[in-house]
């Protein structure tokens, strides 16, 4: 289809202007809100209860650290702890303003976010859910079902900080990585800014799923100076999102990144909300909010949520607040701020301020407020003792939650793409008289079939739409599904991966493309710290069904930053599956399996394989992930080769056969998990092992294969394992250097001979 967005020259003189950013526009009191009915008496009480729960919870952490909580005077509290005392109005104002089924992402300073999100989710839950949540042992008759549930919520939060099995993440995450997917809490993040793209992707998915939900992305002021902030803002503001992206970026500006001060030191602006002007004509509806006033935050987030639900997102809010404690408990804080500064902010304390309004408005008396304070403190005291007595996770279960064995097989027609949404009927790729197609056509066919089968599958990345990607693999898909299902992104690799993770967490099945695997180094936080870790870190509750398609190369003169073979980088992160097919048949079957799998998959395609032809049925078939194949049987030596090196190995086997050497070629197909059983059976038969790969030998995946096979086949090996690899240099551009660098059939044959001659 012709591009529908023509870009024409226009050099008319003029100037760029920007809308003003409103600041501190909220001027109402609680009395005003209750009189108007916008906030009811129970609403106000819930706000106070939630803020008190956050404050007393965090005060307890300080007390425990100092050994001053008498029931647990000798309790050893471990783990990093970042407190948000002073910032309670942002957490509670936000959660009280969004719906219970909306999503949030949080930060390492996220106890308050988690407590408040869970609290408000329980307020709207039905009795069946509350009964299940509290379990059979709670004393419901004494305190009521809802109170029991709130107590259990505080219990589980404290248990996670203590690293207990009952914690929200079963002790896998701890205080910096709390998540509660039942409450729409997609996870706290210890990487500054790490959740920016996750939130944008989750919001994009909410729009595509048409579920009416919004995502509140809570980030610290320091995170706004991170590159992923720019990438996420830009992604969320893309004009092609016609209904807007329903995400509220809430900057919890407590004035300091760690010790670096935002104003006057590490930025060149007075308010971070100014940055909204850089991303769309509405300034992202940016606003500066009094973050010490829970009513002001509630008002701003309520209006932001309405904008998002009406297709006018994203929204950027800067909530000015203050943390009373240091960055962590080891930070004395007074080396970079003054007592006068602290006193000025504490005079604006959000809880004392709101308590006064509760009394002045007649919502409660002073005695009733004190009773609520005592109740909140007792909840935290109980939770602390309870959590300390909880069971630790059992070391034998250390792998629990790393992978899931679920997939989208058997979904029937529930998610099938409706005929009304198909713009053009797909045409099957023509086979030659041997039933063969190009590797790249097999990849495209798999994508189309899966997008037809499941409307939750979307495809995006750099240039994948009209152009079809750098290698033309996805050309024509946009003609079938339109720009809602197949679209380009900015050159923002981290955003591509991070938004894919967020979209997957809330119900989509994204296939995202990195043009070259070299660019995975641009995404290491999102790939390694977010995508790979999310399920395990959040106690096995997250499901991240996404595929990262990328290419490896060499042989085209692309040199050191477009032709590396960095598959070993992806295999370094437990939680990822890594697939590297060699043939058209395997590419189609494995890509379909990858898209249906509920784990994140890195799917590696070799640039030289794209023009290789191979048999590939038109049928809907899948290939199990983690199953190697014996591509050629032999008796003298086992050669293990994956991706394009499979073809090199097969050619080497032919050369060897001419010299009377019988080579068995095994293609792992999947690197993680690695099918050591199939490879081991071959090695036990031949007694010799040669591994062929295109990556440099230094730190390569071949070393992992060698280690695994040595571990289980040492008695069968008649000679040391050999690895045929590139030289330990970046891929060179010059043809003779590149030719020397890439293993050839002749080089493989020479190493096969050397192995056979090296019998011990």
Strand residue runs (E) in 11-88: none
* 135 confidence band (pLDDT: 50, 70, 90): confident
Phi-psi label, residue 511: left if phi above 0, alpha if psi -120 to 50, beta otherwise: beta
**Residues near 719 by beta carbon (within 8 Å), at least 6 away in sequence:** 687, 688, 755, 756, 758, 759, 760
The token pair that represents 76 in the structure block: 């050893």
Q: Does an H or E element contain 55, and which?
A: helix 41-65
Residue 339 sits in the same domain as residue 480: no
Domain for residue 706, yes or no?
Answer: yes
Phi-psi label, residue 743: left if phi above 0, alpha if psi -120 to 50, beta otherwise: beta
Q: Are strands 613-615 and 629-632 parallel, antiparallel or unpaired?
A: unpaired
Residue 477 sits in the same domain as residue 558: yes
Mean pLDDT of 34-42: 96
529 neighbors 195 (Cβ within 8 angstroms): no
Scanning the structure block, which residue is given the tokens 């920007």? Answer: 18
Judged against a pLDDT cut of 50, whether residue 477 lies above it is answered with yes
Residue 633 sits in the same domain as residue 572: no
Judged against a pLDDT cut of 70, whether residue 47 lies above it is answered with yes
Which of these, 251, 241, 227, 264, lies nearest to 301 by C-alpha position? 251
What CATH number has the domain bearing residue 743? 3.40.50.920
The Cα 164–Cα 152 span in angstroms is: 14
Domain boundary among 317, 340, 363: 363
Domain for residue 144, yes or no?
Answer: no
Domain for residue 151, yes or no?
Answer: no
Judged against a pLDDT cut of 90, whether residue 644 lies above it is answered with yes
Domains: count for the chain: 3
Phi-psi label, residue 700: left if phi above 0, alpha if psi -120 to 50, beta otherwise: beta
The Cα 403–Cα 394 span in angstroms is: 18
Judged against a pLDDT cut of 90, whether residue 471 lies above it is answered with yes
What pLDDT does residue 580 have? Answer: 98
301 neighbors 98 (Cβ within 8 angstroms): yes
The Cα 369–Cα 236 span in angstroms is: 42
Q: Spell out the long-range contacts of 704-707 with Cβ–Cβ below 8 A and sequence spacing 24 or more.
A: 704/568, 704/571, 704/674, 705/640, 705/668, 705/674, 705/679
The Cα 295–Cα 25 span in angstroms is: 12
The Cα 528–Cα 215 span in angstroms is: 23
What pLDDT does residue 1 have? Answer: 44
Judged against a pLDDT cut of 60, whether residue 418 lies above it is answered with yes
- pLDDT tens digits, one per residue of 315-346: 999 999 999 998 988 888 988 999 999 999 99
The Cα 82–Cα 327 span in angstroms is: 6
523 neighbors 157 (Cβ within 8 angstroms): no
- CA-to-CA separations, 570 to 527, 587, 601, 675, in angstroms, rounded: 8, 18, 10, 17
Rg (the chain; Cα; Å): 29
* 660: containing domain: 629-756
Q: If 0-12 CB within 10 Å is exposed, 13-18 middle and 19+ buried, where does residue 4 land?
A: exposed
What CATH number has the domain bearing residue 311? 3.40.50.970
Residue 549 sits in the same domain as residue 678: no
Domain boundary among 615, 643, 667: 615
Judged against a pLDDT cut of 90, whether residue 659 lies above it is answered with yes
334 neighbors 303 (Cβ within 8 angstroms): no
Q: Of 73-87, 297-311, 704-718, which range is least confident?
A: 73-87
> 253 - beta bridge partners?
320
Which among 82, 562, 606, 647 is annotated as catalytic? Answer: 562
Helices (H) and strands (E) in the chain, counts: 25, 19
Judged against a pLDDT cut of 70, whether residue 4 lies above it is answered with no
The Cα 159–Cα 691 span in angstroms is: 47
The count of C-alpha atoms lying within 13 angstroms of the C-alpha of 537, restricted to the half-sphere facing its C-beta, is 22
**Residues near 322 by beta carbon (within 8 Å), at least 6 away in sequence:** 86, 87, 254, 255, 292, 342, 345, 346, 348
84 neighbors 326 (Cβ within 8 angstroms): no
Judged against a pLDDT cut of 90, whether residue 9 lies above it is answered with yes
Domain for residue 391, yes or no?
Answer: no
Domain for residue 398, yes or no?
Answer: no
* 2 confidence band (pLDDT: 50, 70, 90): very low
* 140 confidence band (pLDDT: 50, 70, 90): low
Domain boundary among 549, 584, 615: 615
Average pLDDT, the chain: 95
Residue 748 sits in the same domain as residue 694: yes
Mean pLDDT of 54-67: 94
Q: Are strands 613-615 and 436-438 parallel, antiparallel or unpaired?
A: antiparallel
What pLDDT does residue 118 have? Answer: 97
> 252 - beta bridge partners?
220, 319
The Cα 324–Cα 346 span in angstroms is: 8
**Residues near 171 by beta carbon (within 8 Å), at least 6 away in sequence:** 159, 160, 162, 163, 164, 165, 392, 393, 539
Residue 598 sits in the same domain as residue 685: no
* 138 confidence band (pLDDT: 50, 70, 90): low
Domain for residue 163, yes or no?
Answer: no
- pLDDT tens digits, one per residue of 665-685: 999 999 999 999 999 999 999
184 neighbors 177 (Cβ within 8 angstroms): no
Where helices occur in 390-492 by DSSP H, the ranges are 439-453, 477-481
Tell me, yes or no, if 185 is annotated catalytic.
Answer: no
Percentage of the chain exceeding pLDDT 90: 91
> 629 - beta bridge partners?
667
Judged against a pLDDT cut of 50, whether residue 108 lies above it is answered with yes
Hey, is 660 helix, strand or coil? Answer: coil
Judged against a pLDDT cut of 80, whether residue 760 lies above it is answered with no
610 neighbors 553 (Cβ within 8 angstroms): no
Which of these, 182, 181, 188, 43, lies nearest to 123 by C-alpha position? 43
Print burial letters for 393-413: b (CB count within 10 Å at least 16), e (below 16). beeeeeeebebeeebbeeeee
**Residues near 301 by beta carbon (within 8 Å), at least 6 away in sequence:** 93, 94, 97, 98, 216, 248, 250, 317
The count of C-alpha atoms lying within 13 angstroms of the C-alpha of 570, restricted to the half-sphere facing its C-beta, is 31
Q: What is the DSSP string of 71-98?
A: GGTT----S-----TT-HHHHHHHHHHS
Domain for residue 335, yes or no?
Answer: yes
The Cα 739–Cα 750 span in angstroms is: 16
* 556 confidence band (pLDDT: 50, 70, 90): confident
727 neighbors 700 (Cβ within 8 angstroms): no
The token pair that represents 270 in the structure block: 């007075």
Residue 522 sits in the same domain as residue 635: no
21 neighbors 273 (Cβ within 8 angstroms): yes
Domain for residue 409, yes or no?
Answer: no
């Amino acid at each position: 289809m012709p591009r529908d967005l023509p870009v024409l020259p226009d050099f008319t003189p003029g100037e760029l202007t920007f809308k003003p950013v409103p600041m501190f526009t909220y001027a109402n009191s609680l009395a005003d809100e209750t009189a108007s009915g916008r906030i009811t008496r129970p609403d106000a009480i819930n706000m106070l209860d939630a803020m008190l729960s956050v404050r007393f919870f965090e005060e307890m952490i300080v007390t425990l650290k100092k050994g001053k909580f008498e029931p647990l005077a000798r309790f050893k509290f471990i783990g990093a702890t970042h407190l948000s005392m002073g910032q309670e109005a942002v957490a509670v104002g936000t959660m009280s303003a969004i719906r219970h089924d909306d999503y949030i992402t949080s930060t390492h300073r996220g106890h308050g976010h988690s407590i408040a999100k869970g609290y408000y989710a329980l307020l709207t839950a039905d009795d069946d859910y509350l009964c299940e949540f509290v379990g059979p042992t709670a004393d419901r008759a004494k305190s009521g079902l809802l109170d029991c549930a709130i107590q259990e919520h505080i219990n589980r939060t404290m248990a996670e900080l203590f690293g207990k099995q009952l914690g929200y993440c079963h002790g896998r995450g701890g205080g910096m990585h709390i998540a509660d997917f039942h409450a729409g809490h997609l996870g706290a993040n210890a990487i500054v800014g790490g959740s920016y793209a996750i939130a944008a992707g989750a919001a994009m998915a909410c729009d595509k799923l048409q579920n009416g939900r919004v995502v509140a992305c809570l980030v610290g002021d320091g995170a706004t100076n991170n590159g992923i902030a720019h990438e996420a803002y830009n992604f969320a503001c893309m004009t092609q999102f016609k209904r807007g992206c329903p995400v509220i970026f809430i900057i919890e500006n407590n004035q300091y990144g760690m010790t670096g001060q935002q104003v006057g030191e590490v930025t060149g602006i007075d308010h971070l909300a100014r940055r909204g002007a850089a991303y769309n004509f509405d300034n992202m509806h940016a606003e500066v909010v009094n973050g010490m006033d829970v009513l002001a935050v509630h008002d701003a987030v309520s209006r932001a949520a309405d904008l998002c639900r009406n297709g006018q997102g994203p929204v950027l809010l800067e909530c000015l607040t203050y943390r009373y404690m240091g960055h962590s408990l080891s930070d004395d804080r007074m080396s970079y701020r003054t007592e006068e500064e602290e006193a000025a902010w504490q005079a604006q304390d959000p809880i004392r301020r709101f308590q006064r309004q509760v009394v002045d408005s007649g919502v409660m008396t002073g005695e009733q407020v004190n009773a609520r304070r005592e109740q909140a403190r007792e909840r935290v005291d109980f939770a602390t003792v309870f959590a300390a007595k909880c069971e630790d996770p059992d070391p034998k279960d250390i792998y629990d939650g790393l992978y899931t064995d679920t997939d989208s097989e058997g979904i029937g027609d529930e998610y099938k793409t409706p005929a009304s949404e198909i713009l053009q009927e797909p045409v099957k790729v023509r086979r030659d008289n041997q039933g063969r197609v190009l590797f790249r056509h097999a990849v495209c066919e798999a994508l189309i079939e899966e997008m037809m089968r499941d409307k939750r599958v979307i495809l995006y990345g750099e240039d994948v739409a009209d152009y079809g990607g750098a290698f033309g693999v996805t050309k024509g898909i946009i003609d079938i599904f339109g720009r809602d299902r197949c679209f380009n992104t900015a050159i923002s690799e981290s955003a591509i991966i991070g938004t894919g993770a967020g979209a997957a967490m809330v119900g989509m099945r994204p296939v995202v493309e990195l043009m070259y695997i070299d660019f995975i180094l641009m995404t290491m936080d999102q790939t390694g710290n977010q995508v790979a870790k999310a399920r395990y870190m959040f106690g096995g509750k997250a499901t991240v069904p996404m595929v990262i398609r990328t290419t490896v190369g060499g042989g085209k003169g692309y040199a050191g930053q477009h032709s590396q073979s960095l598959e070993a980088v992806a295999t370094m992160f437990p939680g990822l599956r890594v697939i590297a097919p060699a043939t058209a048949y395997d590419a189609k079957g494995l890509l379909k399996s990858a898209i249906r799998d509920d784990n994140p998959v890195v799917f590696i395609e070799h640039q030289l394989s794209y023009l290789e032809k191979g048999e590939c049925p038109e049928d809907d078939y899948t290939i199990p992930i983690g199953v190697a194949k014996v591509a050629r049987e032999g008796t003298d030596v086992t050669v293990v080769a994956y991706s394009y090196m499979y073809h090199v190995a097969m050619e080497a086997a032919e050369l060897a056969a001419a010299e009377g050497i019988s080579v068995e070629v095994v293609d792992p197909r999947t690197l993680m998990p690695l099918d050591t059983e199939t490879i081991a059976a071959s090695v036990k038969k031949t007694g010799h092992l040669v591994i062929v790969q295109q990556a440099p030998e230094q730190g390569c995946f071949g070393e992992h294969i060698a280690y695994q096979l040595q571990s289980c086949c040492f008695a069968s090996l008649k000679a040391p394992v050999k690895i045929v690899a590139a030289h330990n240099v970046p891929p060179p551009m010059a043809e003779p250097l590149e030719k020397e660098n890439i293993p050839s059939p002749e080089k493989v044959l020479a190493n096969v001979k050397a192995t056979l001659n090296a019998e011990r």
